[in-house]
Structure 1
Amino acid sequence: MDKIASASDINNPNYLYMERLPQFYLRGLELMKDKEGQSEYANYQNSLGTTYWKLSDREKETNLKQAINAFSEALKVRTFEKFPKDYAQTQNNLGIAYWDLSYVREKEENLKHAIKCYDEALKVYNFEQFPQEYARTRNNLGFAYRDLSEIRDKETNLKHTINACNEVLKVYTIEQFPYDYALTNKNLGNAYWSLSEVRGKEVNLECAIECYNEALKDRTFEQFPYDYAQTMNNTGNAFRDLSEVKDKEVNFKRAIECYNEALRVYTPKEFPQDYARIQANLGITYWRLSEAGNKEANLERAIEYYNKALRIRTFEQFPYDYARTQNNLGIAYRDSSYVREKEENLNRAINAYKEALKVYTKEVLPYYFVGTSYNLAMALSMRGDKAGAVKVMEEMLPVAEEVGHPKLEEYRRFYEKEQKGLQTFIIDKSASTPLII
């Protein structure tokens, strides 16, 4: 199923036509009430479902629920035993509708429904008889498992994603389907990158980089500049993370090269949000590089890139990105205070954290409120404002308890030491790692 028009373009003739189609199908279904068990009735229901799905750019939840109802009606006739091919087609369509609905409500439940539908479709769509349908459905299944991995059983669900992508690549070869081959390799690389956060960091990051390089065989700067830049950004992220486990400086430099390649496409005028993302990633990379050497120079570069990102990531337009970048900027300023202009850089760090907390409120984003509040308390303590640090911690600790923050005990120890008025506290930098974007 493909959406043929954007809902935001209300004057688009295709969309206006689509809006009228449900009435046509519903009228047809009224006229065939006595044919509910027949294939023509099922065909109308499947077409009605597809139409509602295509209309789901507007009134998303309502139209997706209508689509699901129509596909479910069609499946009362399109059974696996009587009409296997139609059954598979409708199950795949139903899976897509559930997957889309998962972005609106009941994410886990709807993703599980989607996976079940795709599995049903794959009872018919096998590799030997229906290779392209098999690849498309496997691809859809991979997306559903990827999204489910963000909610629960991350490792298990990412392995399902990787398996699905590898099955897709049995069909989408570089010779026959170069674009789909590249896209699937990019998705596979993303799955390996995510898996590296759970286990096998080095091996999974190397697999991710290999997949991205495969994608770049088709996603060239000349043919597909935007896709090229997107994949270069992903490759940069993988090299940056790989630097934590091997060849630190070499992999940092490779990451920076990839980000700079992406910036050949992502200009502030044409792709401002993507440009800002790369600038923020460069900031994180130089921050990490500062731990390997040339601390002062690399931190200055990190601060420069974060500030470039903030020219676009404003509080008004992109509040969440603004907060992430301000938090990371605060960390860079704090670390700069170890090598120069201690008071000035701590003041800058404190201001940056306070800016981030305009978005990271305890009511809306409690987890991020906790981490950024801790960063703020540390900076206040380093500046000698123990009372200020204690006040911040007293507001933060109940929230940390409520969300079950994994660093809760560490936060409590810091608070107790601040209360006792200790003049020194060994700061654990791992507690304030920049938020990867």
Structure 2
Amino acid sequence: MHTVFRVGAIKQMDNEHQLYQIELELTSDDDQQLRSLTDRIREEAHGTGWQRLTKLLIKIGQFNKAEELYNVLLEQTSDEGENALYYNQLGTVKHGQGDYEKAIWYYEKALEIRQRTLSSNHPSLATSYNNIGLVYHKMGEHSKALSYYEKTLEIEQKALPSKHPDLATSYNNIGSVYDNMGEYSKALSYYEKTLEIFEKTLPSNHPDLATSYNNIGSVYNNMGEYTKALSSHEKALEIKQKTLPSNHPDLATSYNNIGSVYDHMGEYSKALSYYEKALEIQQKALPSNHPDLATSYNNIGSVYHKMGEHSKELSYYEKTLEIFEKTLPSNHPDLATSYNNIGSVYNNMGEYTKALSSHEKALEIKQKTLPSNHPDLATSYNNIGSVYDNMGEYSKALSFYEQAFEIRQKTLPSNHPDLATSYNNIGNVYNNMGEYSKTLSYYEKSLEIRQETLPSNHPDLATSYNNIGIMYYNVKDYSKAVSYYERALDILQRALPPTHPNIKSVKENIEIVKKKS
């Protein structure tokens, strides 16, 4: 073995020239951690020297170099087993580059050879099924993805020990499909099976463990359990920072995920910081039209939306849509998300016809691709309701809000923040219709959930206080109105930039009430 050092500490010595002092500790041949790590690397990087090099290039995100080498290897062999391997790995390269149609083409070439030359329960067949499932998953074709993942799992359960890492990967992939379908309890169950295997079989800093923590964090985020989500995502990031190059796309994924949790918690400056770290890596490491870049543009746009900076928001959302329209099928759920977000910008800008058009495009895609009770459908119904509410068409608004509420009641925990949003929005319509007793009932249900689940300075709490204040103003109870307005203002001044339009709006509400009282 060549000389191997353990990194002890890294200290920056010179900010201007980015000089660092690195403390290295010489390892010995009987270092158990080093032996475990090298054994694991040797197991994962089996094959000839060139095969091992190309696999390593894929692992560190050097897809273009890996593609060049695999094409050379493919030209130099007539062995069907090697051909299947190289086609499979070229599929992995194209997958990593975001070229999903070519990825499936290469994976199917590999599968065709393996079905012809191997037994029906051979692990390499499971690999092919799994890889095709991964691409369909990325393309948003969840039923096809689930079908291929289940074929993979069926072979692996027959052929592999119960704690084999490949079984963990299959559990993880099936969990991910259920996650995307909004079936969070099933998703969490499969993700936990994955983590159980990885914790028993992998080194503590293995990237697959990071992926497992990341996925569990994402489910908790979707379920509104933000503290658990943040804890899991930070465990994932810690592993990736120790094991991956600083510009690896998987680091960007962790930064995006942590940003998402802070986004949901209403800590927008932290969210923006993490999203921008992710974007910086992706702009260096990925092609300019890669879907993951679109995700980062979308996330940054979402934060600017909540900060009230609509021109910046629209700019980032349009960058997102431009990539998605070039790279994704016309009915992909991510396209729906993009139309939905642009619709929300137009709604906030008072351009209701454009808003309605964008939201209806989003709904059309979701109705074709998602189960009828998926939470993302509720989001579309809610957004269309919001446009009709702003247009003064209250009966239409109420109808769409109630469709959203019905789905959320069936699919989400009873204290989920999205349910609070539904209660709040239905309350808004009743307020506009002058039915104040119903208004107060819905606003109080919304406030109760938000007080239970959100940080005390979350802007959504301010929304609840402000809306209850408006209702009390409408029934001429001015002392209660000003009390709720002041609670809203206190939160907004702590959570948002001083120029945010919501702060101005609440201040105006307080001035109006004081003139009346």
| Normalised-by-shorter TM-score class | 0.5 to 0.7
1:217 aligns with 2:326: yes
1:240 aligns with 2:327: no
State how 1:29-428 maps to structure 2 within 5 Å. 47=166, 50=169, 53=172, 57=187, 59=189, 62-63=192-193, 65-70=195-200, 74-75=202-203, 91-102=206-217, 103-104=219-220, 106-123=228-245, 134-151=248-265, 154-170=268-284, 172-173=286-287, 181-198=290-307, 201-219=310-328, 223-241=330-348, 243=349, 249=350, 251-267=351-367, 271=372, 273-288=375-390, 298-299=391-392, 301-314=393-406, 316-317=409-410, 321=418, 323-334=420-431, 336=432, 345-346=433-434, 348-358=435-445, 360-361=447-448, 364-365=452-453, 372=464, 375-376=467-468, 378-380=470-472, 382-384=474-476, 386=477, 406=491, 427-428=509-510
Which amino acid is 2:278 matched to? A
**Conserved 8 A contact 1:115-1:141:** yes
Q: 1:170 and 1:215, CA in 2 relative to 1: closer, same or farther beyond 3 A?
A: farther
Structure showing the higher helix proportion among its residues:
2
- CA distance in 1: counterparts of 2:188 and 2:425, whole angstroms: 36
Q: What is the aligned residue count? A: 332
What displacement does 1:231 show? 1.9
- CA distance in 2: counterparts of 1:382 and 1:94, whole angstroms: 55
Greater displacement, 353-362 / 301-310: 353-362
**Conserved 8 A contact 1:233-1:259:** yes
Which amino acid is 1:212 matched to? L
**Conserved 8 A contact 1:146-1:158:** no
Greater displacement, 277-286 / 56-65: 56-65
Which amino acid is 1:361 matched to? E
What displacement does 1:69 show? 2.0
- CA distance in 2: counterparts of 1:227 and 1:303, whole angstroms: 30
1:68-117 Cα distance to aligned partner (Å, 9 max, x none): 523xx6337xxxxxxxxxxxxx7321211121233447333322221122
**Conserved 8 A contact 1:216-1:231:** no
- CA distance in 1: counterparts of 2:159 and 2:261, whole angstroms: 32
**Conserved 8 A contact 1:185-1:215:** yes
What displacement does 1:18 show? 5.3
What displacement does 1:371 show? 5.5
What displacement does 1:429 show? 11
- CA distance in 1: counterparts of 2:253 and 2:261, whole angstroms: 13
Secondary structure of the 1:311 match is helix
- CA distance in 1: counterparts of 2:468 and 2:241, whole angstroms: 49
Unaligned runs of 5+ in 1: 27-43, 77-89, 128-133, 244-248, 289-297, 337-344, 410-424, 432-437
Q: State the identity %.
A: 11
Q: 1:163 and 1:375, CA in 2 relative to 1: closer, same or farther beyond 3 A?
A: closer
- CA distance in 2: counterparts of 1:92 and 1:429, whole angstroms: 56
Which amino acid is 2:362 matched to? A
Q: Cα RMSD over matched residues?
A: 5.0
What displacement does 1:63 show? 2.9
- CA distance in 2: counterparts of 1:237 and 1:107, whole angstroms: 26
1:9-57 Cα distance to aligned partner (Å, 9 max, x none): 9x956546656778x265xxxxxxxxxxxxxxxxx6x557646745864
- CA distance in 2: counterparts of 1:205 and 1:326, whole angstroms: 28
**Conserved 8 A contact 2:258-2:271:** no
1:270-294 Cα distance to aligned partner (Å, 9 max, x none): 6465454323213333545xxxxxx
What displacement does 1:232 show? 0.9
What displacement does 1:360 show? 4.6
Which amino acid is 1:117 matched to? I
**Conserved 8 A contact 1:326-1:352:** no
What displacement does 1:233 show? 0.8
Q: 1:228 and 1:149, CA in 2 relative to 1: closer, same or farther beyond 3 A?
A: closer
Unaligned runs of 5+ in 2: 1-129, 135-141, 176-186, 221-226, 495-506
